[in-house]
Structure 1
Amino acid sequence: MSFDTQDPIPVTVLTGFLGSGKTTLLNRLVRQPAMSNALVVINEFGDIGLDHRLVAQSDENSVVEMSSGCLCCTIRGDLSRTVQKTFDAIERAGGEPFSRVIIETTGLADPAPILHTLMTDYWLAHRLVLDGVICLVDAASGISTLNAHRESQRQAAVADRLLITKGDLVDEERLARLGEHLARINPAAEQVQVRHGQIAAEQLTGGSLSARQRGAEQWLSAASYAQVMPAGGAAPMNAGSLVSMMAPASRPSLTRHGEQIRSFCFTVEQPIAAERLEDWLDLLMSLLGEKILRVKAIVNVAGREQPLALHGVQHIFHPPEPLPVEACQDGISRFVFITNGVEPEAVTRLFDYFQPVQAT
């Protein structure tokens, strides 16, 4: 069967800071039946790569290396080329299509540009579908790493599941503090303790499948996030206050790198006009796109019977996905944001900026 004719192949992005245990985990995973016939793409930094030599291979698994630089920076095109070449080679040899792709990032990588590539590269987007972002966090050094390194915070912020490694090296109190710290960064992400890389592959799959595939309520996890003022509850904005609202916050940074990770949810009770939704998102992403780490929403659009699921990373959105009517039975639209240095009020008041003018 050709790769071009099969259903989209699920992709797991495996991230985590230096020394968090990604290679150990991969070695355990590739030996499991659920990961048979998987393609593992390992990004290595520097001219001489070693990590790909440390991952076990079998007749069913293919492990390929990218060593031309950091996957989050200038070589995103290499991801597409590497996967294409590997797929073509397997197809020419008459092999079976891959059942899954695992992309391991370097410990210094921000995963968001990788997600961009999966969403926007024409070849990849028509053959692969994001299944989940898995982030490993070292229990022994996790809090200090999160406080000191912006990449570590971003890795945790966009994850669907957080794997806590090396928990046997710390006491329960320290583990609990790390869990609370991670919950402040990403309250909806499931936290799982892993020892010596031992975890069932099934626990790492299905993390970010579409709202239709996974179930809208579970996919959105809106109840996990802090609820902010519903849209329409703030004073109207004019152009001047809009510019002021978009200015950088004057409050002190939460870390020495200036990261201010926010996660929140807000709701809109009335159906939203499609034009208003599009204008709001266009302006929001053009002004703050790099600071919007991830967006998920289930939206009740005026004039449509079916609600829509939206999923965006920074300034890029997946095509809207129609959902069953029961996914939004109460008619309330719910938006979940994970941002860097963006106050919730900036998002909600920008939505109110497009509020239809009321006749007097």
Structure 2
Amino acid sequence: MRSADLMPVTVLTGFLGSGKTTLLNRLVRQPAMRDALVVINEFGDIGLDHRLVAEGDEHSVVEMSSGCLCCTIRGDLSKSVQQACEALEREGGRPISRMIIETTGLADPAPILHTLMTDHWLAQRFRLDGVICLVDAANGVSTLNAHRESQRQAAIADCLLITKADLVDEPRLARLSERLAEVNPAAEQLQVKHGEVDAARLTARRLPASGNPDRQAEGWLGAAAYVQVSPAAGLAPTPSEASAPLLAPATTSPLSRHGEQIRSFCFSVEAPIAPEVLEDWLDLLMSLLGDKMLRVKAIVNVAGQPQPLALHGVQHIFHPPVPLPAEACADGVSRFVFITSGVAPEAVAQLFDYFQAPHPTKPPQAQ
């Protein structure tokens, strides 16, 4: 089945108290969310949030309350969705048109994306449409500075919804906007009051499909928003450079209580990349640092290929490459966007140089 034929999935995330349930209740009443399957992950033995979400003929709500979706019950996601789809079919209901997954406030969304990409049953039927993260305007800056989970939620989002914007003044909103841009410079920021937002603005943020205009591919990648890192013109690294750590040293930037620092950057390569160089480089990066690679996006000019490829990776796993029209990489420059947990951009570039060089030295080691 082609990617364009798979059902879209929107992952709705955000820290405790950010207003996810209020927003979801508004969304499911809109025509754009008609026939949606809503999966609500609750933490605890007694579920409450699902009772606050409207449920009717046009969509169904599935509650998962046996644990936190991002860690203890990822296997249950496939089972719960499969059972819901089978029940709708038995009861003669309309087939679902999309799925919305609301995570707990403490969930790291990266493993959820990983599950959507790796679970056989889900991957054959669903595709990621986008990650929407809610951030409380009143407490957003302090939450980002104090909690690892909040940083990760914001870092991998395609769209950031600033909720309760009517409760704070403009200077405070500006500080939050700047802080969010540090964590995720490419994500669109929208202010939301009382959970009101047009559902259509939150959809169609997926990986571009073959034949789509090049502008959509550029918007999906958002490379221009990131700090740019380039390889050293294909030169082999020196022994001292090759031993540079892949993990970045601590800085004075705000850290979470776990000592984590979100780093995002764009790595560009001007010449076409040999397929074996691309494969070996990304394989080693993911092997060494998979859990720290929160999200990787790329539009790549592969040597010998008539079309550029779109790549999308989460932690250890990459989505199958998607061929794009030539216009998506008209200048021939491959661009990789890395959203990471403390990975040094310079070391990523050096590792690419290692595979690109004709007589490489020993590659960098994780420290």
**TM superposition score category, shorter chain reference:** over 0.9
Q: Distance in 2 between matches of 1:356 and 1:345?
A: 16
1:115 equivalent among 110, 113, 116: 113
Q: 2:352: which partner in 1? A: 351
Give the unaligned 5+ runs of structure 1. none
Letter in 2 for 1:205: T
Deviation at 1:235, TM superposition (A): 6.2
Determine if contact 2:247/2:344 at 8 Å carries over to the other structure: no
| Paired residue secondary structure (1:13) | strand
Name 1:254's counterpart in structure 2. Answer: 254
Distance 1:166 1:113 in 2: 28
Where do 1:1-360 residues align within 5 Å?
A: 7-210=5-208, 212=210, 213=212, 215-228=216-229, 230-233=230-233, 236-237=236-237, 242-246=242-246, 249-251=249-251, 254-255=254-255, 256-357=257-358
* TM norm structure 1: 0.94
- Percent of residue pairs bearing the same amino acid type: 72
Partner of 2:365: none
1:245/1:7 Cα in 2 relative to 1: closer, same or farther (>3 Å)? same
SS in structure 2 of the partner of residue 10 of structure 1 = strand
CA separation in 2, counterparts of 1:16 and 1:40?
16
Write the distance in 2 (CA, Å) between the matches of 1:30 and 1:251.
43
Deviation per CA, 1:224-281: give whole Å up to 9, x if none: 11112x1234863367754542356254673232121111112101110000000000
Could you tell me which amino acid in structure 1 is paired with residue 58 of structure 2?
E
Q: Is the 8 A contact 1:38 1:102 kept in 2?
A: yes
- Distance in 1, matches of 2:54 and 2:341, equals 37
Range with greater deviation from structure 2 (241-250 or 98-107): 241-250
For the residues of structure 1 that align with 2:243 and 2:51, how far apart are their CA atoms?
52
Q: Write out per-residue CA displacement over residues 186-238 of structure 1, whole angstroms, 9 at most, x where no aligned residue.
A: 0110000000001111011012242545721111111111112x123486336
- Secondary structure of the equivalent of 1:72? coil
Residue 341 of structure 2 aligns to which amino acid in structure 1?
A: N
Deviations 1:293-334 (A, max 9, x none): 111111111111111110001111000111111111111111
Q: Which amino acid aligns with 1:78?
A: D
Determine the C-alpha separation between the residues in 2 that align with 1:24 and 1:239: 56
- Which string of whole-angstrom CA distances, capped at 9 and with x for unpartnered residues, describes residues 79-123 of structure 1? 000000001111122222101100000000000000000000000
Show structure 2 runs of 5+ residues with no match: 361-367
Q: Structure 1 pair 211/227, CA: closer, same or farther in 2 (3 Å)?
A: farther
Change (3 A) 1:287 1:238: farther
State whether residues 301 and 308 of structure 2, in contact with CA within 8 Å, keep that contact through their aligned partners in structure 1: yes
Q: Give, in whole Å, the separation in 1 of the partners of 2:238 and 2:122.
A: 42
- Which digits, 9 at most, give the CA deviation of each residue in 1:38-90, with x for residues without a partner? 10000000111101111111111101100000001121001000000001111
Moved >6 Å (runs of 4+): none
Q: Distance between the aligned counterparts of 2:244 and 2:346, measured in 1?
A: 12
Measure the CA separation in 2 of the matches of 1:278 and 1:94.
Answer: 46
Match of 2:364 in 1: none
Aligned 8 A contact 2:35 2:97 in 1: yes
Q: Which moved more, 1:297-306 or 1:350-359?
A: 350-359
- Asked whether the 8 Å contact 1:234–1:349 carries over to 2, the reply is no
Change (3 A) 1:150 1:327: same
Distance 1:221 1:7 in 2: 25
* Alpha-carbon distance in 1 for matches of 2:183, 2:246: 22
Equivalent AA in structure 2 for residue 104 of structure 1: E
CA contact (8 A) 2:234 2:357 kept: no
Alpha-carbon distance in 1 for matches of 2:145, 2:47: 28
